[in-house]
Amino acid sequence: MAQQTEVQWTGKTGGGNFGQRFLFGFLKSVKVTVLYPVLPLVVPVYCVVNHKAFGCIFRYFKEIHHFSRWKSFWKTIGNHLIFGQVVLDRFAVVAGNKTQFHLEIEDPEVLLQLLDQPGGAILAGSHIGNFELTGHCLSQNKKRINSVIYGGEGVLMQQKRTNAFSHSNVRLVPVAEDLSHLFIIKEALENGEIVTILCDRIWGSKKTLTIDILGKKAKLPLGTFLLAAQMGVPVVSVINIKVRGRKYHSYVQPLASPDRTLPLRQQSEQIAASYAQSLENVLRLHPEQWFNFFDFWEREIENGKRKIENGKRKIENGKRKIEK
């Protein structure tokens, strides 16, 4: 999937050290909605500077949701505006000002059962809405939550996030190049703890699954689904959608248990297919809150079809020239 790797989203929070310090200090005691009106001034510049990311979201609306070019353009602008609000919300909760947010959980009993059962579990997140809000708003002391995060953040952001999560019984587990984070995840599940991880981004891994999502092929990382199959732990999809202002709605969906008589690879595919279905359900309702800023869906197949069609046209043109 060459085109995807060329524009792969880094996942690192922008703003620089000075900008991040300003936001942390400002949002520590001020309601985050104060800064929302600034976004319409900033987002157009951001769209121009990060035109590749803009193009990826534009194609998402046009090719996946089949919107017109004009509608896709405005949907892409709206997507960036909502993303800007979500980023500010993250800064606010990391700064310690999380009580201003209201997270309405659609099916809270599912999460309560995971906390009460003796075994471990996986909360599968995605780059839809604001998954990070889960750890900040669900403070509890029954089980430790191990949150697997991107390991390339700046020192300031890492320190702030560690301090913020320490009050919610959450341990941050950065993805490490030596794969040491995998041992921490496995140990946490063996100890009956909960692991939260984003499952819709590959991060350079060569072990992937190809799954249908919204009618087109996309690659998901194999690791989490394979681990769930190996250890027999339940997996629950959690997606926090921004409703308006400082209110979020959380979609909680237990993923289907695989057929344990099948090989582990096939079990992993079954869990991944259930995860993909959970993404589809939410994206059909909230397509504008998709925040994977790279070509997530495979495009070689489409490009291959175009090459075949072009080849056929050339052959037909050549035949006509010979007949003449």
Residue 305: per-residue pLDDT: 52
User: Any idea which of 29-38, 198-207, 262-271, 300-309 has the lowest mean pLDDT?
Assistant: 300-309
Shortest CA distance to 221 belongs to which of 175, 163, 166?
175
For residue 322, is pLDDT > 80? no
Amino acid occupying residue 180: S
What whole-number distance in Å separates Cα of residue 77 and Cα of residue 72?
A: 9
> pLDDT (tens digit, 9 = 90+) per residue, 175-218?
877 778 889 999 999 999 999 999 998 866 678 999 999 999 99
**pLDDT band, very low/low/confident/very high, at 285 (cuts 50, 70, 90):** very high
Other beta carbons within 10 Å of 113: 13
| DSSP-H helix ranges across the chain | 2-6, 16-27, 39-49, 51-59, 69-94, 108-116, 133-137, 155-166, 180-190, 223-231, 264-285, 300-323
> pLDDT (tens digit, 9 = 90+) per residue, 121-151?
999 999 999 998 887 767 778 889 999 987 6
Most confident of 68-77, 137-146, 297-306, 311-320: 68-77
Residues 6+ apart with CB under 8 A from 3: 295, 299, 300
Domain residue spans of the chain: 2-307
For residue 23, is pLDDT > 70? yes
| pTM confidence score | 0.85
* 302 vs 310, more confident: 310
**pLDDT band, very low/low/confident/very high, at 17 (cuts 50, 70, 90):** low
* 50 vs 287, more confident: 287
> pLDDT (tens digit, 9 = 90+) per residue, 230-265?
999 999 999 999 999 999 999 999 999 999 999 999
**Cα Dmax for the chain:** 83
Residue 254: per-residue pLDDT: 96
Phi-psi region of 16 (alpha: psi -120 to 50; beta: other; left: phi over 0): left
Residue 6: per-residue pLDDT: 37
Q: How far is CA 212 from the centre of its chain?
A: 17
Strands 208-213 vs 216-221: parallel, antiparallel or unpaired: antiparallel
* 305 vs 131, more confident: 131
How confident is the model over 16-22, as a mean pLDDT? 72
Beta bridge partners of 215: none
Residue 132: per-residue pLDDT: 85
For residue 104, is pLDDT > 50? yes
Amino acid occupying residue 52: K
Residue 301: per-residue pLDDT: 44
8 A C-beta contact, residue 300 and residue 2: yes
**pLDDT band, very low/low/confident/very high, at 275 (cuts 50, 70, 90):** very high
